[in-house]
Chains A and B, each alone.
Chain A
Amino acid sequence: MLVPLSVVASLLIPYLVAVVRQKRSDRHWNYWRTVSFVAGTVLLFVALSPPLANVSHHDLRAHMLQHILIGMLAPLGLVAGAPLTLAFRTLPVRISRLITTTLHHRLVHWLIHPVSAFLSNIGGMYLLYLTPLYALTLTNPYLHYFMHLHFLVAGCLFTWAIAGPDPAPGRPGMRTRLIVVFLSIAAHATLGKLMYIYLWPHGTLHSAHEIRAAAQFMYYGGDFAELLLVVALFATWYRRQGHHHSILQQRGKRLNQPLASA
């Protein structure tokens, strides 16, 4: 109980403190951002809490639920909470500047690019399930923690790179992001089928029936999470189009004014 509680507290407390500060200084902070971030931490807590965490050690289906919660659904909530924007508003200018400088480093641009986020996210899953690595995580506790941490970090990085409301320096346009999401969904679905057919991960005590059920769960659960990700991506597009339209409308009004008064 200690691990999930401390993970959730270390995310939630700074966020809520920053939101309260925004309110105190009469600055607007979208209510839905807070709701979304809290929901993300709740999902993370459910995934890491004993009922699920203990079962997932023996049951691949429970592990898959954990994987979808930690690596896909919780990141959607956390990233949609715009924690970076909130941090920039709250932290001392000196530290904010330091973060900005770091984010603008070429190496970091490369690291947070959708393509590299995609590789570390989906590539990590192929590596985990299609090699003896997964069997090792069942016996080595450090590897086990690292696997969950990687799910979370890679999931957040990917979600942020594709559809985050937070700024991401060097983030490419809609077309590139759509192509990456397209490949990512296909790669996730194909991994689910590969596991189903060849009964990966090998070297575990899981029965064939259990692995097949887990693989199908990965396929359809992944679908649901990816559908939400695509919605989030198009929501950013929709918002930007809205700005674009209102600028055009303003221009149109200005152009029409002399005619109307004449």
Chain B
Amino acid sequence: MHPMPHDISDPARSRWGAALIGIAIMAGVDEIIFHQVLGWHHFYDLSTPAVGLLSDGLLHSAELIALVAGFFMLLDLRRRNALAAAWVWAGFFIGMGGFQLFDGIIDHKVLRLHQIRYGVNLLPYDVAWNLTGLVLLLVGIVLLGRARSTAATNLSVD
């Protein structure tokens, strides 16, 4: 029998769509909590280099598009009954944790685009930031493992 293009779950796209949403939400949370609510870093820091200004803009743009793209990918999967919920959650947490770690290590430490807070000892902040990222990422990896084993048992039952 020919495979139907419908009603076949699509783990890869489920994961990717959710990861995009996870990345965008984590970036949005960082921006809203640390920038808007706590005011730890400002709309513009004098320490921001010119290239940081442009990279901020590009990153900001990518987050906005990732959020919408992720939602529409999942909507499209749901419409053709291809949404795999277990993989969605795994992708979502991996996206959130991955972004948080990337931001904490590459943006803050390697590129030194900006810091979490100014005029304080940064170490506890950096540790808390990256630990949060690591925990989210680990949750995602555990969920991924579960989704994989469930998929494997389903296959052997069939």
Contacts and interface: CB of A to CB of B under 8 A. Distances in A.
A252 interface: yes
A147 interface: no
Contact of B6 (A219, A241, A249): A249
Interface of A is mostly: helix
B65 interface: yes
Nearest to A242: B79
A190 B68 contact: no
Contact of B60 (A183, A189, A242): A189
A227 B53 CA distance: 20
Contacts of B2: 252, 255-256, 259
Interface in B14-69: 43-44, 53-54, 56-58, 60-62, 64-65, 67-69
Contacts of A182: 58, 61-62, 65
A223 B64 CA distance: 8
B79 A193 contact: no
Contacts of A256: 1-2, 4
Q: Report, as a range, how many residues of chain B touch the other chain.
A: 20 to 34
B72 A185 contact: no
Nearest to A248: B5
Interface stretch (A51-59, A67-75, A231-239): A231-239
Interface of B is mostly: helix
A238 B76 CA distance: 7
A186 B58 CA distance: 5
B75 interface: yes
A117 interface: no
Contacts of A249: 4-6
A194 B52 CA distance: 12
Contacts of A234: 68-69, 71-72
Contacts of B5: 245, 248-249, 252
B54 to A, nearest CB: 6
Interface of A: 178, 181-187, 189-190, 193-194, 196-197, 216, 219, 223, 226-227, 230-231, 234-235, 237-238, 241-242, 245, 248-249, 252, 255-256, 259
